[in-house]
Amino acid sequence: MAYKIKSRIWIESENNVLLGEGRVHLLKAIQNTGSLSKASKSLNISYKKAWQLLDSVNKSAKKPVTINSIGGKGGGGAELTDYGKSLILAFDDINRNCWAFLDKQLEKIKSL
Amino acid sequence: MAYKIKSRIWIESENNVLLGEGRVHLLKAIQNTGSLSKASKSLNISYKKAWQLLDSVNKSAKKPVTINSIGGKGGGGAELTDYGKSLILAFDDINRNCWAFLDKQLEKIKSL
DNA sequence: ATTCGTTATATTTGTCAATACATAACGATA
DNA sequence: TATCGTTATGTATTGACAAATATAACGAAT
């Protein structure tokens, strides 16, 4: 059976993690559901973990990635900013390209 | 301050990790010291952890990566096989290329 | 046979992180 | 003002992983 090359990439800001695969999943789930609590349920993670992740993202980013509102109609909610959407697009693009790149590198260990 | 892209790559065999950065460090230390126990000391990890890592490497690889000897002159020792050396070279090469690749991708988030 | 430094392994202990649980704060609406 | 489903936190418990400790097995050399 052949060896495989796996990878993980992430974006850091001042030595803090800004975006990784898990955080991107969370942001996409927020985009789909309109709230952090619904997003956490859809990802099968605790609300607290989701909140900590999102808090970390917003604290690491140069500009807000989500707008969170407490109380009011529906109890509140969370939605992505345009900046947040562009971050996700950039991450996904780089990640896909990285996979393609490593796929080519696979040649180098095919004979091993 | 600008965002940074970080990455980690590893080689898998049958869903088991074969080589990552830590394992490569260990193999290089074995190459330099001639024994697993000396290698573990030079990396400041316990002998047990080093042994578990090396055991996992040898069990995941298609061919032996090290030759370990017990007892005898000097008490024994461990040394890399030619196969192990070529694995290290391939990993380092791919890893370096991946860094260079991601450095180019950095353009895409420069404006964010 | 004894010694030696190593590889090899089991067992216990400690540490850290994830999880679960609980609760406060909020503000539009009725 | 009472209600509602959120966001926002604190606290306690659990569980997985790391570390420490201990010891067996080995075989060349003396």
Q: Is the CB of B33 under 7 A from strand C?
A: no
How many structural domains comprise chain B?
A: 1
Encoded tokens for A49: 């973990």
B89 touches chain A (CB under 8 A): no
Distance CA B3, CA A57 (A): 13
pLDDT means per 10 residues, chain A with 112 residues, are: 94 93 95 95 93 95 96 93 97 97 96 94
Encoded tokens for B57: 């490497």
- In terms of CA atoms, which chain B residue is nearest residue A13? B3
Q: Is the CB of A48 under 7 A from strand D?
A: yes
Per the domain annotation, does A74 fall within a domain? Answer: yes
Per the domain annotation, does A47 fall within a domain? Answer: yes
Per the domain annotation, does A48 fall within a domain? Answer: yes
Encoded tokens for B28: 């290089």
Per the domain annotation, does B58 fall within a domain? Answer: yes
The tens digit of pLDDT for each residue in B43-101 reads 999 999 999 999 999 999 999 999 999 998 889 999 999 999 999 999 999 999 999 99
Task: State residue B93 phi and psi, 5-degree precision.
Answer: -65, -50
Distance CA B38, CA A80 (A): 52
CATH code of the domain containing B97: 1.10.10.10
Per the domain annotation, does B40 fall within a domain? Answer: yes
Q: Is the CB of B73 under 7 A from strand C?
A: no
Per the domain annotation, does A8 fall within a domain? Answer: no
Look up the domain containing B84 and give its range.
19-107
